[in-house]
A and B are shown apart, each in its own frame.
Chain A
Amino acid sequence: MTLMSLFQYDFMRRAFIVAIALGIVVPCIGVIVVLKRLSMIGDALAHTSLAGVAGGLLVNINPVLGAGITCIGAAFTIEWIRKKLPQYAEMSTAIVLSAGVGLAGVLSGFIQNATSFNAFLFGSIVAISNAELIAVVAIALLVLILFFLMYQELFYIALDERSATLSGVPINTVNFIFTLLTAVTVAIAARTVGALIVSSMMVLPVACSLQIAKSYRQTVWFSVLFGLSFTLIGLTISFYAALRPGGAIVLTGVCCLLLVFNLKKMVCR
């Protein structure tokens, strides 16, 4: 197989568009999420959205819409718990995660036709429908625009909410918009490419970036750079080595993180 055969297939071209969109956008959200000590939020929301899929199938509304609604609900619940327990912010994701999985388990028990549930449970970056492609690109553009409009505000909030309030940042509004963006991104991306890619893309590029970046601006740029290279390299490897793309992308990220750790050690010596 030559290099060109990679782009010869429609499904691979779609996969690369989605990989570029998510590789840029998810790490942007990831930077703020990590600084807010909510690294597990991607996982928590993705699992909670399963309850939305099950609920949607039960009451006969579009399961993806159901997933979106529960995701938004779960994201605001996480925010609410986080404010109640500010010292233990990460606990809020664990609580919502278990509540979501529990609810999904109970609700899926009522679904007669198990195969239709399975069809909505899993997504894959190499099997993207037209509607999914449009949804992913649209949400990516929306997130990018809002992220750069609120660039400074988000930075203040992520570091220290109290001093952000003092410097006149409308933290409730910014938090509200950011929570909404996170929820919608996870809901769509998890259905499209699978929860694994979403939750790992929130954390792994940021972890690499934090090793080498010297400022907030650098952290954001390096995160996007790392995120983009993980998805693109992982997808390419999965094509040539006949691997499952989700796992290949995540493992690329993990290998890169290990590499960055070691390089940093060598340079510091």
Chain B
Amino acid sequence: MKIKSLIVLTLCMAMLCLAGCSMKAPEKVSTDDSPLKVIASFYPMADFADKIGGDNIAVQCLVSLGMEAHDWEPTTADIALLEEADLFIINGAGMEPWATDLLQTLSNKNLVVVNTSEGLDLLENDESHDGHDHGDQDPHVWLNPLYAKQQMSMIMEALKELDATNSKTYQDNYEKWANKCEELDQNYRETLSPLNHKDILVSHQAFGYLCNAYGLNQIAIEGLSPEGEPNPARMAEIIDFMNKHQTKVIFYEENTSSKVAEAIARDTGAKTMVLNPLESLSQEQLDAGEDYFSIMTANLKGLQEALSD
């Protein structure tokens, strides 16, 4: 008798649980005034979403400030955020390898996912650089301003569909920032095309799309990450290359000062400068009002200095 009642009890509880679960996902009430909850995977996506959505949406960025976007893994708190969200914006092209698995585990059936690199002409990944492997494609599309414009357009379309009442605002915002992207592209073109040197030395091979768009050539210094020990033959090779091509600048990422880059700089008399791949910004940079456009403009200044005679 006891066993039977236990079984019945268990069954009842299981049913209750199931009922609870299915009730947890109610039909979305679209008439509420609260802003759309938008989650962006990392900084440029958050910045673009913020620019297009304005006050109508509340953007949260998963990869927090100052973190390395490539090594990031979601925590349970991030998953909870996504369960509550309306829209999830990713870059795609292998930048968020964790997203596929994560999305399958979510029970949020109303979540719309936008892959902003969809439809872009993606570059092959030359080599898996500095330990982290992106897969077959180079994900750093946002560093080409015209690709960034396309990504903004994808975000705008998604927002329009989710929130038709404000679609005019999204369209206006998009047009304003799309113009800025074109302006930026124009600036890059005009500044870089007359310069004689075309080779840039970078610590992180993130500038494929940028180089492709403006006829530059990136040479990645492997092992320039501060974690690993470099091998001297490779360092000698880089020094020879720099002397031969009269390269004056070694670009490294924000936050990653490297003893090896400095050693090479000492040998060649070159300078080390920052070329920001915009994967994440620090709190100080945000407080100073930096955004995609200001950093891209700063990058252009650095490139101009490095490549002019």
Contact = CB atoms under 8 A, between A and B. Distances in A.
Interface residues on A, range: 35 or more
Contacts of A127: 230, 258-260, 262-263
A126 B232 contact: yes
A12 B232 contact: yes
Contacts of A36: none
B29 to A, nearest CB: 40
B97 interface: no
Given A119-B259, A123-B259, A127-B259, A245 B232 contact: yes
Interface stretch (B128-136, B210-218, B221-229): B221-229
A5 B68 contact: no
Contacts of B258: 119, 127
A238 interface: yes
B244 to A, nearest CB: 14
Interface string A126-143: 111100000000000000
A244 B231 CA distance: 5
Interface in B229-248: 229-236, 239
Interface of A: 1, 5, 9-12, 14-15, 112-116, 118-119, 121-124, 126-129, 194, 235, 238-247
Given A9-B267, A127-B259, A127-B262, A238 B66 contact: no
A123 B228 CA distance: 9
Contact of A124 (B236, B255, B259, B282): B259
B229 A122 contact: yes
Nearest to B227: A118
Nearest to B264: A11
B189 interface: no
Given A9-B267, A113-B255, A122 B227 contact: yes
B68 A11 contact: no
A128 B226 contact: no
Contacts of B255: 113, 115-116
A115 B260 CA distance: 15
A238 B229 CA distance: 12
Contacts of B259: 119, 123-124, 127, 129
A10 B266 contact: yes
B54 to A, nearest CB: 30
A64 to B, nearest CB: 12
Nearest to A15: B232
B251 to A, nearest CB: 16
B263 A5 contact: no
Nearest to B268: A10
A127 B233 CA distance: 13
